[in-house]
A and B are shown apart, each in its own frame.
Chain A
Amino acid sequence: MPDTLIANARLLDPATSLDAPGALLIRDGVIADFGPGLSAPEGAETVDAAGACLAPGLVDLRAALGEPGAEHRETIASAAQAAAAGGITTICVLPDSDPPIDDPALVQFVIRRGEATGSVTLLPYGAATRGCAGKEIAEFGLLREAGAIAFTDGARAIGDARTMRLALSYARGFGTFVVQHPEEPSLAAGGAATEGELATRLGLPGIPAAAEAILVERDIALARLTGGHVHFAHVSTAAALDRIRAAKAEGLAVTCDTAPPYFDLNETAIGDFRTYAKLSPPLRAESDRLAVVAALKDGTIDAIASDHQPRDADDKRLPFAQAAAGGAGLATLLAVTLARVHGGDLTLLQALDLLTARPARLLGLPAGRLAKGAPADLVLFHPDRAWQVEAGRLPGKAQNSPFDGRALEGRVLGTWKAGRRVFGR
């Protein structure tokens, strides 16, 4: 492969706070050099960035893929296509597939399927409990040896306190952590929307927002008890974020992420029974959305993940309470996050940090930064170019975007995986 020089770019590396014009040279799949005044070596192919932003490829901390088990919704190949169009070069894959990823051979299967795409690295989570059934903890040691990055039951909460205690405690022995879907299951059972005025008007069974804080509070106590590391996924309420903020101040091993719907939309998006906006956890009140934005600003939230959940038309064209929860999120991750930059809540480097270096650091990955010798996983984007999300015309198979119709600014122009251009041009 010839060398590639991406010239005339705005280089952005949140890990080092670099934000400067310059060029970047790719050689043998890694970043050979970058900076101002770099010129193309002989035989190198030059890409003129025309002033666009060049940043590390995004590290998506949380996505469910249709494969294995729900290939009618999405295949890994189609997810990879959506990821490349969204500037994502690493995806942490949830294990609550069919079959659940609770066996070392299945971990290796997912990794190999990712390698076969040539455009995205798939890092599977191992199941926290066998079959993601919430009862006995899975073989963390063997799964970790096979390549599992951490442990979770995906979209299912680990509801039993003793099981969670054991998982946190046992994970600690292998230097890894447990990701919780923070929603007290007995309060969430049968619910379709956040309890409150809107759910009352629509006659939808509600889930109290407190269901999140209750499980967060319990698991913080268990982290204190065990010394284990708990990570809360897609945190969406002010009350839960307050407890996480306090736990971090106390010095506990507590981290969390959120997803774009929780800082870009509120519960009114489900008005008139719009099932594409049915998510788990459900969209919240505006006051909670604002609390999520504040927690992104002050650093309480460690990462922004796509929380991608592919669904097909049959899953969504149903009465609201019967429709499947979950939204497609790969192609819109960067642009919806940039809306917080355009809105003045985050700096561009802060936003990128939440999408690259911070999740990479959490996972101990070499990805998510511009560094000499690091893999040339890169995204080139125009921060202001406008486009409109249109379900049915998104890249990849899953079209169930909760942002359908949303006008966004920020367009991916090119994506490189290990030096190879996988999107754009």
Chain B
Amino acid sequence: MTLPYPHRHLLAIEGLEPPYIADLLDLAESYALLNRSGQTQRDLLRGRTLINLFFEDSTRTRTSFEIAGKRLGADVINMSVSTSSVNKGETLLDTAVTLNAMNCDLLVVRHAQSGAPALLAQKVSAAVINAGDGTHEHPTQALLDALTIRRRMGRLEGLTVAICGDILHSRVARSNIHLLTAMNARVRVVGPPTLIPAEVARLGVEVYHDMRAGLRDADVVMMLRLQRERMAAGLVPSSREFFRFYGLDAEKLAVAKPDAIVMHPGPMNRGVEIDSAIADDPARSVIGEQVEMGVAVRMAVLDVLSRQLRRNA
């Protein structure tokens, strides 16, 4: 890192200056190389306590943070809070009090409500990492996506990235939009009007409702998960109609650049937003590499935030 990271927490990509994003990606890149070389156990976070506080189920993200923490030598504790007992939300602040008493250093939070990690961050002494809040942001996902793209394409600047599907409910889309536009990529969002957030163009993206137009000459095609309850809420009539017009198959992908890569934050709904033939095509799909970069990015984030802890200690 050439610049000291200026924040105590990582709550959002929005507002994070491009030099800090670039530094985080560089550091993550070095962790990716270390991880591949097998020299993983370090003692950077020895004696530090990392708590994974998940109010929403997630195997992938939680495991990724757990591995990242352990590789850096932290004591990692997983706390899953069942959603049924947190309807009222008071427990969110009760939990903060408990965590403070436990001297937690790094707190990874996932919550179904936008802004919940920011609220916790006001009350806890730990450095808070947003691991996904409602439909707001998922900053480490955007960082790992950017790292994956950068490794494959060699850069972010000037690339055309099409983010496709349920933009309205996607925290992954929001964080990616903020990160990629900050790094001077051209971002398109593609989806039916009922799944595009109001005035999203003001975030610096181009909006498409036609997949072929949106994917034309794209360097990166980023698919999002469509949750079944969106059909129940009537936002799209059926999964078969969605797949027909917005699902990624070989025919639609053909209009993108010949070397375009396909990404998905997982877990995938095969046959709803993505055809299995694409998801499993090693020439196009970088979905496995995204998972690998996830660990590296989270190590970089933990590293940077723990430097802050040391400085404040």
Contacts and interface: CB of A to CB of B under 8 A. Distances in A.
Contacts of A273: 114-115, 118-119
Interface string A192-205: 00011101111111
Interface in A151-203: 195-197, 199-203
B291 interface: no
Contact of B134 (A206, A272, A318, A321): A321
A274 to B, nearest CB: 10
Contact of A206 (B115, B116, B119, B198): B198
Contact of A314 (B90, B113, B171, B197): B90
Contacts of A201: 14, 174, 203
A72 interface: no
Contacts of A197: 198-199, 202-203
Interface string A294-319: 00000000000000000000100111
A198 B202 CA distance: 10
B111 interface: yes
A411 to B, nearest CB: 32
A208 to B, nearest CB: 8
Q: Most A CB atoms within 10 A — which of B111, B113, B171?
A: B113
Interface in B1-52: 14
Nearest to B201: A197
B171 A203 contact: yes
B115 A319 contact: yes
Given A318-B89, A318-B92, A319-B111, A202 B197 contact: no
A320 interface: yes
A215 to B, nearest CB: 20
A319 B134 contact: yes
A196 B200 CA distance: 8
B269 interface: no
Contact of A319 (B114, B198, B200): B114
Interface in B218-249: none
Interface in B112-139: 113-116, 118-119, 133-137
Interface in A302-357: 314, 317-322
B135 A203 contact: yes
A319 B119 CA distance: 7
Contacts of A208: 198
A196 B202 CA distance: 10
Q: Most B CB atoms within 10 A — which of A204, A206, A273, A319?
A: A319
A196 B203 CA distance: 11
A321 B198 contact: no
B93 interface: yes
Contacts of B136: 202-204
A28 B217 CA distance: 85
Nearest to A274: B115
Contacts of A202: 114-115, 136
B89 A319 contact: yes
A200 B198 contact: yes
Nearest to A203: B136
Q: Most B CB atoms within 10 A — which of A195, A317, A321, A322?
A: A322
Contacts of B199: 196-197, 200
Interface string B186-214: 00000000000111101100000000000
A317 B119 contact: yes
A317 B111 contact: no
A317 to B, nearest CB: 6
A157 B198 CA distance: 24
Contacts of B202: 197, 200
A255 B135 CA distance: 39
Q: Most A CB atoms within 10 A — which of B111, B133, B135?
A: B135
B33 to A, nearest CB: 34
Interface in B95-115: 111, 113-115
Contact of B113 (A195, A199, A206, A321): A321
Given A196-B199, A200-B200, A203-B134, A321 B114 contact: yes
Q: Most A CB atoms within 10 A — which of B111, B115, B116?
A: B115
Nearest to B133: A203
A319 B11 CA distance: 14
A411 B299 CA distance: 55
A321 to B, nearest CB: 6
Given A203-B114, A203-B133, A203-B171, A322 B89 contact: yes
A201 B119 CA distance: 17
A210 to B, nearest CB: 11
Contacts of A318: 89-90, 92, 119
B116 A319 contact: yes
Nearest to A272: B118
Contacts of A196: 198-199
A314 B93 CA distance: 10
A246 B268 CA distance: 53
A322 B90 CA distance: 11
A121 to B, nearest CB: 37
B288 to A, nearest CB: 28
Contacts of A203: 114-115, 133-137, 171, 174
A208 B197 CA distance: 12
Contacts of B134: 203, 319, 321
Contacts of B115: 202-204, 273, 319-321
A206 B169 CA distance: 12
A205 B136 CA distance: 10
Contacts of B200: 200
Nearest to B169: A203
Q: Most A CB atoms within 10 A — which of B114, B133, B197, B199?
A: B114
Contacts of B197: 199-200, 206
Interface in A213-244: none
Nearest to B120: A319
A204 B136 CA distance: 7
A199 B89 contact: no
The 7 A-B pairs at the shortest CB distance, nearest first, are namely A203-B136, A319-B113, A273-B115, A203-B135, A203-B114, A200-B197, A197-B199
27 contacts: A195-B198, A197-B199, A200-B197, A200-B200, A200-B202, A201-B203, A202-B114, A203-B114, A203-B115, A203-B136, A203-B174, A204-B115, A204-B135, A208-B198, A272-B118, A273-B114, A318-B89, A318-B90, A318-B92, A319-B111, A319-B113, A319-B115, A320-B113, A321-B114, A321-B115, A321-B134, A322-B89
